[in-house]
Structure 1
Amino acid sequence: MDFSGLIEKKRTRFDELESAVTSGSLYDDPAKAREILREHARLKELLSIADECRRIEQQIAENRELASDNDAEIAEMAQAELPELEQKLPELEKRLQIALLPPEPDEDRDAIVEIRAGTGGTEAALFAADLYRMYVRFAEANNLKIEVMDTSEADLGGLKEITFRLSGEGVFRKMRYESGVHRVQRVPATEAQGRIHTSTATVAVLPEAEEVDVELKMEDLRIEVCRAGGPGGQGVNTTDSAVQILHIPTGRIVRCQDGRSQQQNKERALQIMRSRLLEDKRREEEEKYSAHRKALIGGGGREEKIRTYNFPQNRVTDHRIEMTLKSLDRFIEGDIKEMIEALLSSDMEQRLQDAQNEA
């Protein structure tokens, strides 16, 4: 399939964005600036792949011509290079087709991540804390920024729940596949008989919403201020700084207490509420997706068991793509990039197939 015309249109658009990016007025409108920078980064990657495709095509043509050269040595060298070049080209063409797919809504946004202990009592709370540490390590290794928005610690250690913001390049696109039920199989430290216990924690990854995405009307909100509780220092325990917001039309409730002030907690709670409502809207749109894609990316549903962490066998299995890694010791320390890339690749291939079927 010849994409040259479409690529030239993308190149023209990239030149327009390049002028905008170097303009001194770029940040006059911060929201528009973010959109411009996101599109600029996407097109830069696409054109890089397209240029590499064209270079390989030219090299293949040249080598085929040289392979029939009168100089036997030159012909032999050219012929020897052909198999590697011919193998590389289809891989690049596939990447190009995927890059040409229109971006999905929200994929370039930052993410709000919520982790909650599920079934399993104390062990579930400890596992929730392990998952949070895993994402912290992943963020550190990939130049992402984490901002804790709210926490609730368990009495005997671990976390009942934690909500944090994860920001950086393409965060939601990478992290969205973490939504669902994570199951752990291991021997708890308190287990005298050495029996393996199964516990769960749930993860929900929401695209961070902006004010223009979701309008929160004050008449639809019930905002209450109360005394913060739990660990956090003297200031947290002695001031009425915790904020709870009820969104009356949906019944959704958000509570924040980790901020340094009542105002900061209110802003964080509103930010989380917008993201949850935006996720509801996104979930409705995903009902239109194919059954395969819904099974793969899910909807952040806490009933969907997506992954099992088996400590005795040092393996982690993602049930959506039937991928098993026998390196749980590294995985739980944040080395999750291989799994994320496999999930992203599977999703992109299905999108490409869906697009070809609709064409």
Structure 2
Amino acid sequence: MEKTLLIQKLEIYKKEFFEILKLITQPGGGYDQKKYKTLLNKYTKLEKIVSLYEEYKKKLALFKEINFFLENDSDPEMKELASTEKCKISENLSSIEKKLSNLLFDSKENNTNTEEYDKEDDRRNGAIVEIRSGTGGNEACLFVEDILRMYTMYFKKSGWKYKIIHAQKGGIKGYKEIILDINGIKGVYGNLKFESGVHRVQRVPETESQGRVHTSAITVAVFPKVKNIEVNINLSDVKKETFRSSGSGGQHVNKTESAVRLTHIPSKITVECQEERSQHKNFEKAISVLRSRIYQNEKEKRLKEISVKRKSLVSTGDRSVKIRTYNYPRNRVTDHRIHKSIYNLTGFMNGNIQEMIDSLKSFEKK
């Protein structure tokens, strides 16, 4: 495994270790025995990892010192001794890395089922993407439009086709909400799932006269497209409502109630579709989105039941988590899950996002 990725993961584990230590040692924690036992078990496992990580860091520091000595000392005899020591430390580092890898990623008890889901994600050739404005008013709506453009350019580079299922315009410009249906040969959901979460933008809005940088946010949710046989929806559990479309479409939108709103009563999931002129077609698309969202809900429930901590440290579905910041003044985009920055925001916003996705995929698998 690449050292940088390994250290990033170990730092996350170290942070979690000290958070759990604080929880189990604070007086009057108020935990029941079951929760306390779970925390204690996690603490014990993490203690081994953190202890080995500390040893690893010491060896790395020593390795760097010896390298510096070899580059700057002219005494042949001392260089020979340092070279021998370097070989020993290198072997020690390899041994520790192997132990850490075994501790982190080779636990079959926790990983077998999630590996199955990873392969399933990569096979899926379709996804539903929902983009919604968050904090920031009109600027957030504009950023929804910018992210929409970024994704559509990425789809084009990937050879995928997309269709707008639902769109709600912003107050002045941009969109409050937009839902896309994406289809490709393979790997559509396996790539796009990493986009789920809060996307934050830092830039000077067009309306800002004093040149001050503002921060706005939007949310992205990505769901796998699923077939009828995977999620069987009982139509008696679905409440159907029709209303007049609010988008473009000429006189037609004011005459017929072609837009459809579906509510799945058991899960309370609601979806809307108004892009087609036909109520029947809008209903079919809304059912497709509803099926995907129900599937995603069930999948996340099963993953939580399989393991207290999911295999991946990358958040792929939690829309409450800030995953990425787009900083326009510094021409930088940063993904906070893997602490990776790309200093070509212009290119990124033109659909060149595969490098970031590949890094996220690598981080999740290794």
> TM-score interval w.r.t. the shorter chain?
0.5 to 0.7
Which residue number in structure 2 is paired with residue 296 of structure 1?
A: 314
What do residues 188-239 of structure 1 show as CA deviations (whole Å, max 9, x unaligned)?
0100010000000100000012111111112101111111113333323332
1:126 aligns with 2:142: yes
AA of the residue aligned to 2:122: E
Residue among 200, 205, 210 paired with 2:222: 205
TM-score by length of 2: 0.65
Residue among 150, 158, 166 paired with 2:182: 166
Which residue number in structure 1 is paired with residue 338 of structure 2?
A: 321
Distance 1:132 1:257 in 2: 18
Residue 286 of structure 1 and its aligned partner are, at CA, apart by 2.6
Structure 2, unaligned stretches of length 5 or more?
A: 1-105, 107-114
Residue 290 of structure 1 and its aligned partner are, at CA, apart by 7.0
Residue 301 of structure 1 and its aligned partner are, at CA, apart by 1.9
Distance 1:228 1:202 in 2: 24
1:105 aligns with 2:120: yes
Distance 2:254 2:292 in 1: 28
1:155 aligns with 2:171: yes
Distance 2:319 2:249 in 1: 28
Residue 151 of structure 1 and its aligned partner are, at CA, apart by 0.6
Which residue number in structure 1 is paired with residue 281 of structure 2?
A: 264
What do residues 96-125 of structure 1 show as CA deviations (whole Å, max 9, x unaligned)?
x9xxx6553343221000000010000000
Residue among 221, 237, 251 paired with 2:268: 251
Residue 292 of structure 1 and its aligned partner are, at CA, apart by 6.6
AA of the residue aligned to 2:319: R
AA of the residue aligned to 1:107: D
- 1:1-359 to 2 correspondences below 5 Å: 104-109=119-124, 110-168=126-184, 169-287=186-304, 288-289=306-307, 291=309, 293-298=311-316, 300-349=317-366
Q: Secondary structure at the match of 2:228?
A: coil
Residue 274 of structure 1 and its aligned partner are, at CA, apart by 0.3
Q: CA distance change for structure 1 residues 289 and 346 in 2, over 3 Å: closer, same or farther?
A: farther
4+ runs of 1 displaced by more than 6 Å? Answer: none
> Among the aligned pairs, what percent are the same residue?
43
AA of the residue aligned to 1:124: A
Higher deviation after alignment, 177-186 or 253-262: 253-262
Distance 1:337 1:188 in 2: 27
Distance 1:173 1:221 in 2: 29
AA of the residue aligned to 2:294: L
* Contact 1:116/1:203 (<8 A) preserved: yes
Q: Secondary structure at the match of 2:314?
A: helix
AA of the residue aligned to 1:278: Y
Equivalenced residues, count:
250
Distance 2:235 2:308 in 1: 37
TM-score by length of 1: 0.67
Structure 1, unaligned stretches of length 5 or more?
A: 1-96, 350-359
**RMSD, aligned α-carbons:** 1.8
Distance 2:179 2:301 in 1: 23
Distance 1:285 1:108 in 2: 19
Distance 1:233 1:294 in 2: 48
Q: Secondary structure at the match of 2:164?
A: strand
Q: Secondary structure at the match of 2:123?
A: coil
Residue 289 of structure 1 and its aligned partner are, at CA, apart by 5.0
Which residue number in structure 1 is paired with residue 6 of structure 2?
A: none
* Contact 1:179/1:302 (<8 A) preserved: yes
Residue 294 of structure 1 and its aligned partner are, at CA, apart by 4.6
Residue 284 of structure 1 and its aligned partner are, at CA, apart by 1.2
Residue 280 of structure 1 and its aligned partner are, at CA, apart by 0.1
